[in-house]
Amino acid sequence: MAKKIHIGKLIKAKVSEKNLSKVKFAKLINYERTNVYHIFERPTIDIDLLIKISVALNYDFIKEVYLKDSTNDSNIVLIDDVIEKLNKLKDNL
C-alpha cells in the first residue's frame, strides 16, 4: 500500500538535491519547462511518468513511495530490475 506522500514535492526535492534547473529536468523527461511546475504540484502521478522521472533522476521513486515499508523483497528486486533496464535503454538513445 502506498504511503501518503505528495509525489510532486518529493520530485521537486530530488531535482533540487541534484542541482538541476527546471529547464534541464524538463529536457531529461522530454517535457516543457512549464509542465515541470505542474508535476511539482501533483499529489499523485501516472506510473509511466514516474518511471521516466526515476530514470532521469537515477532515483527509485517507486521503491520510495510504494515499497519502502513492504516486507516483500521480491517486489523491490523486480523494480530495481526495471529501473536498470530502463537506464540501459536511456544510455543507448
pLDDT per residue, tens digit, the chain (93 aa), is 445 789 999 999 999 999 999 999 999 999 999 999 999 999 999 888 998 999 999 998 887 776 665 555 555 556 666 777 777 777 765
Instruction: Supply the DSSP symbol for 58.
Output: T
60 φ, ψ to 5°?
A: -85, 85
Query: pTM of this prediction?
Result: 0.70
The one-letter amino acid at 85:
K
Number of domains forming the structure of the chain: 1
From CA 21, how far away is CA 78, in angstroms rounded?
31
Tell me, yes or no, whether 1 lies in a domain. Answer: no
Q: What CATH code is carried by the domain that includes residue 43?
A: 1.10.260.40
Cα torsion 22, 26, 32, 37: sign = negative
Identify the domain containing residue 33 by its residue range.
7-92
